[in-house]
Each structure stands twice: as structure tokens, then as C-alpha cells.
């Protein structure tokens, strides 16, 4: 059944075998035996690979990494949620019977003639997750270079109980401290992102009726004004996906009514939306031509394309720019170029498309350390990171510890491995390719998730001169293209 499904370099004999066993009741016991064996082998392998990493503990390596894990992980809870939803799109494909051999983007639909951009300035939109509490390790507002990004999105304001969560003095203080960066760069815009780990269904409730939308818009605009912020970024993951289908329409209505209200007030508040990358979610969640009328731009979350999931346990790139030569069908859509082209072909003007670039990566534990390529079998998340999410300092420490690194020519991203630890990440080179893609393609700019995941203390280079090396690289490539 998987054979016609174009799995890249499928190593799926095991899965197929499992299916056959499942069909036959009389073999249930054998199946149970196999499951137990797999569990035992998995545990053993994870343990052994962990031990082998741990063997370098004397040098403080693993210890340092674990300490890093404990810090800077404000965003993980939410990142993991999105990764799961992206995974659900993949799973839908794997579970479906159609062989999903879409999906050439109709290049004819893309209006290339509107692409005479010469004097363009690009947005550099950076997400900043608030420190959970001011003790140690966290990135504080004052440590952000005010001229690094053009826009800073504060993550997150949450929705509880059908309305925007009241903001207490501690949080308000933090908003003000981010906002204060504007005194050192008057053109900086600071936006508030609403979403994150808002309770499930909260956006659905808020957007469901005219009355609830009106109240939400009123509360939100009051909060923006109170905190001297410049706009609003919606991070609803994701309207109508695995929930009420009407949410798609409700979301468009929310954006429309917000735009009307801003027009009525002659307000210059910016409205942006963080949007999905996988095709099934895009198709379910967004009415793109309408959205395009009401938003200033969308931040396309072109990452988390591959990470460890039990139903597709293989290595892959977090944020490939292009497809691998041997990827077909659905798998050929799991890259930045495909997603961005698709958004464009569906009616989002390219100057409103802000392309997502990650400063984080994903770790995996290989089944076999001799099989360490792309699409190699894996057992789970790597030792590094929190549920496999790794920050750039973790990446550079790992790479420094004599990990082998490979730069993939197809996808224009690196990976690294050592023993059974395998990581996909972005470095200055891969981000330069992506920034160049944004600039030469005439898109609206680059979005970064996140300031907190870059090397904000200059640990990688041991130099205080070299804070935020990744975002700095993106900025410089975008700036070159303005010349």
C-alpha cells in the first residue's frame, strides 16, 4: 500500500510488515511479541546512544547542553503544538487512500508582471518570547539590538475565557521595555502576537459571533494603545483545522471587521497573521484572496516540515529551501519554495508574503549510526533539545564537538551528526540562501522564529561582538539587495 505512495527512499518494510500482522487475529500474539521487542530495542538503543553521548560528559559537553535545554525554552510548548498540527497534515496524507500526486503550483497563476520591485525595503520580522521570569538565562528586552529587526513581535498575549487575558503589571512592564527599544530606533515597530498556548478553541469562541468579535477588537485595540504598541499579529493555529469548519469564515470576518474599525479610526496599526506551511492546512484554514485585502502581511511559518514523529520516523530537514531531488508528491511540497509559491498562486501578493526562517533546529536519534543521511530511520527525538527543538547555541556546541557536518545542495541547509545524534538546523550560509531567495524573489521580507533561539550571548564565537549571528546575517543579505 505504501509502494505507490512515493515515500522518499522509503525504509518502510517494517511498517508494511506491521500492517500485515495487524490484519490477522491469529497472529496477534506474535504481533505483541514484535511490539515488545521493538519497545525493548528502542529503549536499549536510546539508552546506549545516550550513554555514548554521555561518555563525553567529562568535558562538560552534555552537562552544558542539558543546562541550555532548561533555558530559553519559553517557545517550546507552543512549537511542539504546531509541529504536531503540521504532522497531522502529513498523517492525513499517509492515512488517505488517494495517492496525493498533486501538486504543481500553477506558475501561470502567479502574476510575475507585478514584480517590478527595485527600491524595495524588506521587513525583518523577529519574534521575541517574553522571559518567563527575570532570573537567569533568558533574553531580556534590553539585550535586543533595536536596529537588528524592523519589526519585533512580542509572543504571546493569550486568550482565556473568550477574551484577551488581562495584562498585569509584570507583563505590562515587559511590553513597555520592548516598546522602549523604539526610543533607540524610531522606525522599529513593536507588535503584539495573540495566540500561542491560548486555551484550545479560544480563537474559535472569540471569532464566532459579531458581538464576540466586536468585543475582542475593542479590548485588543485598547491594549495596543495602552502599551504604545504598533500592531497586532494573529497566531491562530489553525482556523477550521480539525475543528469547526465555519472558523475559516469567522476568521476572515474577524480580520475584515478589524480592518473596518482601523479605517474608521484612521489608525495605522499593523495587522499581520502567522500562517501555516502545509498545503492541507492552508486549504482548510484560509480564504487567501480575502485575507490579502485585510492584512498588511502574513508571516509564513515555513519550518517544522520534518521532525521526529512516530508515523514517519526518519531524518529530514526542519526548513529546506527546496525539495530533495528524489522527493515526489506530498513530500515535494514540504519546503519553503513550494509553500511560498503556493501562497502566491492562491492570491497573496508577494509583497505581503513574509517568509519564515528558523534560528532553531530539530534533533533525532538514529537507529543506526552508520545510516546517517537524509531520510535515515530514527527512533525518536535526539538527546539534544526539548522534544527535539534545539537552539542555535546548542547547534554550535554540538558542531564544535567534532560532529560531522554536511551541507545539502538540494535543500540548501546543513545537517550534523555524531554517534546516533542527528540534527537539522540553519546556519549563516543556509539563512543567506533564504534571505537571498526573499530579496531576489521580491517578497515582503523575512520572519524569524525567534530572537530567543539565536546565539544572543555570542557563545558560538566567544565574542561579545557577535551577538545574534544568524539574524545579523539575514539582515545584511536583505540590506545588500536594497542597494
Ligand X SMILES: *[C@@H]1O[C@H](CO)[C@@H](O)[C@H](O)[C@H]1NC(C)=O
Query: Which residues are part of the catalytic machinery?
Result: 237
- Euclidean distance between the first and the last CA atom of the chain, given in angstroms as a whole number: 53
Grid-cell match 521487542, residue found? 37
Is residue 4 packed enough to be buried (19+ CB in 10 Å), middle (13-18) or exposed (0-12)?
exposed
**All 3 cell numbers of residue 263?**
479605517
Q: Which is nearer to ligand X, 97 or 263 (CB)?
A: 97
Q: How far is the CB of 472 from ligand X (least distance, A)?
A: 26
The answer to whether 132 and 138 have CB atoms below 8 angstroms apart is: yes
C-alpha dihedral sign at 71, 75, 77, 82: negative
Cis peptide before 98 (omega within 30 of 0): no
113 in contact with ligand X (CB under 6 A): yes
Q: How far is the CB of 136 from ligand X (least distance, A)?
A: 7
The answer to whether 153 and 194 have CB atoms below 8 angstroms apart is: no
Cα separation, 84 vs 111, whole angstroms: 34
Count residues contacting ligand X (CB under 6 A)? 17
| Closest to 477 (Cα-Cα) out of 430, 439, 444 | 439
Q: How far is the CB of 103 from ligand X (least distance, A)?
A: 9
Cα separation, 314 vs 139, whole angstroms: 33
462 in contact with ligand X (CB under 6 A): no
Q: Which is nearer to ligand X, 351 or 421 (CB)?
A: 351
Candidates 50-58, 147-155, 163-171, 308-316: pick the segment binding ligand X (CB under 6 A).
Answer: 163-171
Q: Which is nearer to ligand X, 34 or 171 (CB)?
A: 171
Q: Considering only residues 21 through 50, tell me which ones interact with ligand X, judged by CB under 6 A.
A: none
Sole binder of ligand X in the list 24, 55, 101, 114 (CB under 6 A): 114
Cα separation, 455 vs 391, whole angstroms: 8
Candidates 311-319, 335-343, 389-397, 456-464: pick the segment binding ligand X (CB under 6 A).
Answer: 335-343
Contacts of 347 (CB under 8 A, 6+ apart): 288, 289, 292
The answer to whether 467 and 145 have CB atoms below 8 angstroms apart is: yes
Cis peptide before 443 (omega within 30 of 0): no
Site string for ligand X, 67-106 (x = CB under 6 A): ------------------------------x-------x-
Q: How far is the CB of 443 from ligand X (least distance, A)?
A: 13
Sole binder of ligand X in the list 341, 375, 411, 430 (CB under 6 A): 341
| Closest to 110 (Cα-Cα) out of 327, 305, 288 | 288
170 in contact with ligand X (CB under 6 A): yes
183 in contact with ligand X (CB under 6 A): no
E-assigned strands of 60-161? 123-129, 151-157, 159-160
Candidates 165-173, 234-242, 392-400, 426-434: pick the segment binding ligand X (CB under 6 A).
Answer: 165-173
Q: How far is the CB of 264 from ligand X (least distance, A)?
A: 28
Q: Which is nearer to ligand X, 97 or 462 (CB)?
A: 97
Contacts of 392 (CB under 8 A, 6+ apart): 359, 360, 361, 425, 453, 454, 455, 460, 469, 470
Polymer length of the chain: 483
3 in contact with ligand X (CB under 6 A): no
Q: Considering only residues 365 through 394, tell me which ones interact with ligand X, judged by CB under 6 A.
A: none
C-alpha dihedral sign at 395, 398, 400, 403: negative
CA angle 167, 155, 197 (to 5 degrees): 80
Beta bridge partners of 294: none
Cα separation, 264 vs 435, whole angstroms: 36
Q: Which is nearer to ligand X, 111 or 463 (CB)?
A: 111
The answer to whether 410 and 375 have CB atoms below 8 angstroms apart is: no
Sole binder of ligand X in the list 26, 119, 168, 263 (CB under 6 A): 168
Q: How far is the CB of 114 from ligand X (least distance, A)?
A: 4
Candidates 168-176, 215-223, 229-237, 300-308: pick the segment binding ligand X (CB under 6 A).
Answer: 168-176
H and E: helices and strands count for the chain: 14, 16
161 in contact with ligand X (CB under 6 A): yes
Q: Considering only residues 121 through 140, tell me which ones interact with ligand X, judged by CB under 6 A.
A: 133, 135
Q: How far is the CB of 127 from ligand X (least distance, A)?
A: 18
The DSSP result for 261-291, as a single string, is HHHHTT---EEEEEE--SHHHHHHH--HHHH
Q: Which is nearer to ligand X, 322 or 398 (CB)?
A: 322
Candidates 83-91, 277-285, 310-318, 336-344: pick the segment binding ligand X (CB under 6 A).
Answer: 336-344
Q: How far is the CB of 245 from ligand X (least distance, A)?
A: 19
Q: How far is the CB of 42 from ligand X (least distance, A)?
A: 29
Q: Which is nearer to ligand X, 340 or 471 (CB)?
A: 340
Sole binder of ligand X in the list 24, 55, 107, 368 (CB under 6 A): 107
253 in contact with ligand X (CB under 6 A): no
Q: Which is nearer to ligand X, 282 or 379 (CB)?
A: 282
171 in contact with ligand X (CB under 6 A): yes
Kindly list the residues in this chain that would bind ligand X in the complex (CB under 6 A). 97, 105, 107, 111, 113-114, 133, 135, 161, 168, 170-171, 322-323, 337-338, 341
Amino acid at each position: 500500500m505504501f509502494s505507490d505512495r512515493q515515500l522518499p527512499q522509503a525504509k518502510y518494510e517494517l511498517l508494511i510488515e506491521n500492517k500485515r500482522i495487524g490484519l490477522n487475529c491469529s497472529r496477534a500474539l506474535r504481533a505483541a511479541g514484535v511490539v515488545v521487542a521493538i519497545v525493548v530495542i528502542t529503549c536499549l538503543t536510546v539508552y546506549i546512544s545516550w550513554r555514548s553521548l554521555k561518555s563525553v560528559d567529562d568535558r562538560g559537553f552534555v552537562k552544558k547542553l542539558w543546562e541550555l535545554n532548561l533555558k530559553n525554552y519559553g517557545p517550546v510548548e507552543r512549537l511542539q503544538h504546531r509541529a504536531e498540527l503540521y504532522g497531522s497534515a502529513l498523517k492525513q496524507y499517509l492515512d488517505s487512500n488517494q495517492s496525493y500526486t498533486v501538486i504543481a503550483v500553477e506558475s501561470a497563476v502567479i502574476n510575475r508582471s507585478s514584480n517590478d520591485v527595485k527600491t524595495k525595503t524588506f521587513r525583518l520580522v523577529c519574534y521575541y518570547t517574553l522571559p518567563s521570569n527575570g532570573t537567569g538565562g533568558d533574553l531580556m528586552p534590553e539585550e535586543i539590538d533595536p536596529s537588528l529587526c524592523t519589526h519585533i513581535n512580542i509572543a504571546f498575549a493569550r486568550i482565556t475565557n473568550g477574551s484577551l487575558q488581562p495584562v498585569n503589571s509584570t507583563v505590562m512592564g515587559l511590553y513597555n521595555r520592548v516598546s522602549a527599544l523604539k526610543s533607540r530606533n524610531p522606525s522599529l515597530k513593536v507588535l503584539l502576537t495573540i495566540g500561542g498556548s491560548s486555551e484550545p478553541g479560544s480563537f474559535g469562541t472569540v471569532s464566532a459571533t459579531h458581538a464576540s468579535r466586536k468585543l475582542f477588537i475593542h479590548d485588543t485595540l485598547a491594549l495596543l494603545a495602552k502599551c504604545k504598541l504598533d500592531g497586532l499579529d494573529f497566531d491562530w493555529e489553525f482556523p477550521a483545522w480539525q475543528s469547526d469548519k465555519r472558523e475559516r469564515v469567522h476568521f476572515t470576518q474577524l480580520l475584515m471587521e478589524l480592518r473596518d474599525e482601523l479605517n474608521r479610526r484612521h489608525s495605522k496599526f499593523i495587522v499581520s497573521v502567522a500562517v501555516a506551511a502545509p498545503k492541507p492546512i492552508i486549504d482548510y484554514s484560509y480564504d487567501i484572496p480575502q485575507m490579502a485585502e485585510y492584512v498588511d502581511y502574513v508571516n509564513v511559518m515555513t519550518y517544522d516540515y520534518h521532525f521526529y514523529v512516530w508515523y514517519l520516523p526518519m531524518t529530514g530537514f526542519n526548513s529546506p529551501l527546496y525539495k530533495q531531488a528524489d522527493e515526489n508528491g506530498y513530500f515535494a511540497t514540504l519546503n519553503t519554495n513550494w509553500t511560498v509559491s503556493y501562497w502566491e498562486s492562491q492570491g497573496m501578493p508577494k509583497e505581503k508574503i513574509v517568509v519564515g526562517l528558523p534560528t532553531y533546529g530539530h534533533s533525532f536519534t538514529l537507529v543506526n549510526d552508520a545510516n546517517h543521511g537524509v531520510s535515515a530511520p530514527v527512533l525518536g527525538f535526539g538527546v539534544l533539545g526539548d522534544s527535539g527543538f534545539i537552539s542555535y547555541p546548542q547547534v554550535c556546541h554540538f558542531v564544535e564537538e567534532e560532529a560531522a557536518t554536511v551541507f545539502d545542495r538540494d535543500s540548501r541547509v546543513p545537517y550534523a551528526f555524531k554517534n546516533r545524534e542527528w540534527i537539522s538546523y540553519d546556519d549563516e550560509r543556509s539563512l543567506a540562501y533564504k534571505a537571498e531567495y526573499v530579496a531576489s524573489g521580491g517578497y515582503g521580507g523575512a520572519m524569524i522564529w525567534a530572537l530567543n533561539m539565536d546565539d544572543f550571548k555570542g557563545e558560538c564565537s566567544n565574542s561579545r561582538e557577535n551577538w545574534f549571528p544568524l539574524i545579523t546575517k539575514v539582515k545584511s543579505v536583505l540590506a545588500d539587495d536594497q542597494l
